[in-house]
Amino acid sequence: MSAHGPMPRSSWLFPALAVLLFLIVTATGYGFTLSAGGVVFAVVLLVILFGTVFAAVHHSEVIAEQIGEPFGTLLLTLSVTIIEVALITTIMLGDKPAPELARDTVFAVVMIVCNGLVGLCILIGGLRYREQGFQVSGANVYLSGLIALATITLIIPNYTLTTPGPMYSTLQLGFVDLVTIVLYGVFLYTQTVLHRDYFINQTGDDEAGGTSHLSGKMLAVSIALLLVSLSAVVLLAKKFSLVVDAVAAMIGAPPAFAGLLVALLILMPEGVSAIAAARKNDLQKSINLALGSSLATIGLTIPAVGIATYAFDQPLVLGLNPQNTALLFLTFLLSMLTFGTGRTNVLFGLVHLVVFAVYVFMVFVP
């Protein structure tokens, strides 16, 4: 979306509806149950929640156009991460504990982004432009951080001796939280200060790399509505967790389904932005959004969830099973090949989409 033109009605309507729904539910003490009325409530909740997430992303993009790259995509990524942390923490600490949810959601984000979203962007760009270019140096920075963080948080817990896997001990989890935050902080410093040019489109396309100008009043309105949108999603997270549990029980879905559903909710608007950038021949922005969201998911979500589970004395399962470990290694190997030359084509995109299809199939038929 662009900062130009009038503000879309949905960008303020859905946040207002979300706040109103929360106030009504709180005032009436409504408790969700899987009945005829509950189905209607679930549909209304999901529509408003999705609309509010899209509104948050729209206002993030409006602000991002004012501050330029790579700060723009960084703001968008951080906004989505706040939503993700709220949903995961609420569901994990709900009436039905889900100690594997953080692991399943983080893994789902990596699979959706690094295979589904990256594959789709590359395929669409390849069909339209045959080849697309990007900064290899920036992609390598993303991948080095992502591979290290994913291995530390999702693989090593299976091989610890202090406590049997797939869990870290309290001391180990605290140390992992610390090094994860430090590594992500250094990445942010690299992205925004030391090597900002690694993450900027170098094609000279003003549409892809330029900034626009917006009145101070409209910018202030977007900042306020962004805060309202993020707060509304956090407030409705509890009811969303009840809907997820009910749907999973109704269709007999495996535990990983909840993580996949949460990941799809939070990544959908960001994915729309990445695909739109690929269609405009700005694959660099697509990569910034895709790999940046994966890195932020691990670098920020795991420490935040770790602190929450420690504060509420809840278990946190992080280690992947052998099947998912193999898919993670395959994803990183393909990513190093895909982003190793600075040019992409449709075959790279199709291969990533095939791996994503295998992941989704294995969620339901493990």
Strand, helix or coil for residue 212: coil
**Whole-angstrom Cα distance, residue 330 to residue 337?**
11
Question: pLDDT, tens digit, for every residue of 321-352?
Answer: 999 999 999 999 999 999 988 888 899 999 99
Nearest C-alpha neighbor of 363 from the set 197, 248, 267, 283: 248
Structure tokens at 99: 């100690």
Instruction: Report the pLDDT averaged over residues 55-60.
Output: 80
Quick one: pLDDT at residue 34? 67
pTM summary value: 0.82
Question: pLDDT, tens digit, for every residue of 235-267?
Answer: 887 777 777 777 777 777 787 888 888 888 778
Given CATH 1.20.1420.30, say whether it is the number of domain 10-364. yes
Phi, psi (deg, nearest 5) at residue 166 = -100, 50
For residue 252, the tally of other CB atoms under 10 A from its CB is 8
Instruction: Report the pLDDT averaged over residues 123-131.
Output: 89
Quick one: pLDDT at residue 208? 42
Instruction: Tell whether the model's pLDDT for residue 57 goes beyond 80.
Output: no
Lowest mean pLDDT among 23-27, 205-209, 334-338: 205-209
**Whole-angstrom Cα distance, residue 310 to residue 26?**
28
**Whole-angstrom Cα distance, residue 133 to residue 343?**
5
How far separated are the first and last CA of the chain, in Å rounded?
Answer: 38
For the chain, which residues make up each domain, given as ranges?
Answer: 10-364
Lowest mean pLDDT among 14-18, 83-87, 149-153, 318-322: 83-87
Those residues whose C-beta lies under 8 Å from the C-beta of residue 121, and which sit 6 or more positions away, are 274, 275, 277, 278, 283, 286, 290, 349
H/E element, 89:
helix 71-92
Those residues whose C-beta lies under 8 Å from the C-beta of residue 178, and which sit 6 or more positions away, are 303
Residue type, 202: Q
Quick one: pLDDT at residue 206? 40
Widest pairwise Cα distance in the chain? 59
Instruction: Tell whether the model's pLDDT for residue 11 goes beyond 80.
Output: yes
Instruction: Tell whether the model's pLDDT for residue 173 goes beyond 50.
Output: yes
Question: pLDDT, tens digit, for every residue of 32-54?
Answer: 676 767 788 888 888 898 888 88
